[in-house]
Chain A
Amino acid sequence: MRRLADGLLRFGIIVVFAVLLVCVSWQVISRYALGTPSTVTDELARFLFMWLALVGGAYTYGQGRHLAIDLLPTSLSGRPRQLNEALITLLIAAFAAVVMVWGGFQLVQRTLVSGQISPSLQLPMGWVYGAVPLSGLIIIAYAAANLGRIAKGGTTLNPPEELPAPKGDTLS
């Protein structure tokens, strides 16, 4: 299950990123070659970017790659460590469930009711915001899997790295 979900998300992320690149490149070309910047690609790029950020962010959580200060978690061992990791996972799941899924769902619903439509793609904005509850659901699924792992005595701090990369702040 987890492997399938990982694979699907990975595929989606790569495709969306590639489409984003095409959109922004077209944006530059259309402005210089055709004289008018394309409003369609501008909007499409912004929407895909929000989806990439939120749904990709959920995948990144599944990979255990989000930036955290792990001085305390890594200094614990045995039972306290297990409990601490379970607490972290539950807090994340709670935020995802309450704010991202529940709050996000209300955001989607109210925006759909208001009938707000994006100016050039004519997309209902409610759908665009759907990335928030979807991301929340994926995070909850990963958190549930992580809880199972922790209960069996495993750890979520350093999961088997699929992507060998230095941990740390990506901007710095």
Chain B
Amino acid sequence: MNWAAVVLFASFGVLMVVGVPIAFAIGIASALTFLLFMSFDQTIFIVAQQMVSGLDSFTLLAIPFFILAGNIMNRGGIALRLIEFAKVLGGRLPGALAHCNVIANMMFGAISGSAVASAAAVGGVMAPLQRKEGYDPAYSAAVNIASSPTGLLIPPSTALIVFSLITGGTSISALFVAGYLPGILLGLSIMVVAGIIAKRRGYPVAPRPSMAEVRRKTLDAILPLGLIIVIMGGIIAGIFTATEASAAAVLYSLVLALFWFREIGWRDLPRIFLESAVTTTIVLLMIGASIAMSRAMAFGDIPFALSDYLLMLSDNPVVILLIINVALLVIGTFMDMTPALLIFTPIFYPVVSDLGMDPVHFGIMMTLNLSIGICTPPVGSALFVGCSVGGVPIARVIRPMLPLYVAMIVLLMAVTFIPEISLALPRWLLNYG
């Protein structure tokens, strides 16, 4: 019996159920675990030290900047222009507006990389339009919710930065490039399911837009989408590190929003800065506490014990990967992505390393898996936001979500067992691995 694991998980579980904010629950549970191995004075010293040293990283600076860039783009009217452009791209398919929603979520994700922001921004605009054309609001909300995590896989992605940090420096550029294909496949599989349902229900195809309209909307979207080239081009070519690219993204979006679209002014900036800082610190405090927790786990040999246990159940890699995926799906239903990544990566990573799995492949698998979790009740941030902007109760969205969950899980299996889906692009573009 591994007592460290019992203390850690029991105390963490109780604290979480009671409703203690996760960052503090992690901190308290780690401190209690350390107490098994050292004196009180040593314990409080080491937890305080780990909290602050976990945050001493130049790489982590990319997180506030990518969040800030996304917020500036969002307030600056960029989301609307992307949606207009998405209408041009997806308009001729059955259930046109649903496809626009998916495409807009993918483009939004390529710029900001937050599923919640994207579900709110894109869904908020698309829901009333779809309702007017006779779409079932529950269907529209479900499509919006399920496609919003595409942005977590399509770079820039703060989730992948966090993964890189906890695995001790898995290449961020490789993770970013690896996310493209799975992210796009996720969007496409949602579009296939949404299209089949739309065809059956006879949802309308949009009228063919005029050439002038196509030209204008495309031109409007070119500058926002140019950010992708700045960020990813810079990273792939080796000009920027992720942190530098994130600062470049902020400057690019500031210039665009302040001087080109002019939908925000200088006076709006303090508020946007503050909001971005607050959302960032929610994540950062959790990161600091989790660094302490992963040290506590290492002290208690928890990953080792669990890995032994899993390997005892089976030494077949396929079975182990299935077990890990099922465990993560269950965890994802009640836990948000960041804490789940922070807590369970240090546990499962050593196991899959033993199996010889590539860290980039594992990171993509984990992110995709937990992306399903943020769309499921009882706790799912994309689900909550999608329902609230769509004006639909959660209970009604579950039914139209079911076929979409199936599509997501099929893709998850493909990503888990076909490493090339994640690794082909980084190998080709970055000579990874």
Contacts and interface: CB of A to CB of B under 8 A. Distances in A.
Contact of A28 (B247, B275, B336): B247
Contacts of A56: 277-278, 280-281, 284
Interface residues of A, number: 61
Interface stretch (B100-108, B375-383, B423-431): B375-383
A59 B284 CA distance: 13
B285 A66 contact: yes
Interface string B388-403: 1000000000000000
B181 interface: no
13 contacts: A21-B65, A56-B280, A57-B284, A67-B21, A68-B16, A68-B21, A69-B22, A71-B378, A99-B27, A132-B48, A166-B117, A168-B381, A172-B159
Given A14-B274, A169-B336, A53 B284 contact: yes
Contacts of A103: 43-49
B416 interface: no
A149 B61 CA distance: 35
Contacts of B20: 68, 88, 91-92
Interface string A47-91: 001101110110111010111111111000000000010011001
Interface residues of B, number: 85
Shortest beta-carbon contacts, A-B, top 6: A103-B44, A168-B381, A66-B21, A169-B336, A103-B48, A53-B284
B48 A106 contact: yes
A144 to B, nearest CB: 16
Contacts, number: 235
A141 interface: no
B385 A46 contact: no
B120 interface: yes
A165 to B, nearest CB: 6
B9 interface: no
A27 B276 CA distance: 21
B274 A24 contact: no
B281 A52 contact: yes
B64 A52 contact: yes
User: What DSSP secondary structure best describes chain A's contact surface?
Assistant: helix
B307 interface: no
A60 B281 contact: yes
Given A24-B246, A171-B158, 6 more contacts: A28-B248, A66-B22, A69-B19, A91-B20, A107-B48, A169-B336
A28 B241 CA distance: 9
Contacts of A61: 21
A170 B47 contact: no
Given A28-B247, A53-B281, A67 B22 contact: yes
B309 interface: no
Interface string B239-250: 010011011101
B55 A50 contact: yes
Contacts of A92: 20-21, 24
B293 interface: no
A170 B41 CA distance: 34
A30 to B, nearest CB: 11
A102 B47 CA distance: 11
B115 interface: yes
A13 B274 contact: yes
Contacts of B45: 103, 106-107, 110
Interface string A137-172: 000000000000000000000000001011111111
B244 A99 contact: no
B255 interface: no
Given A14-B274, A25-B251, A53-B285, A172 B116 contact: yes
Given A61-B21, A170-B67, A67 B371 contact: no
Contact of A84 (B19, B246, B379): B19
Contacts of B28: 91, 95
Given A53-B285, A54-B52, A172 B247 contact: no
B24 A91 contact: yes
A154 B340 CA distance: 31
Nearest to A168: B381
B280 A170 contact: yes
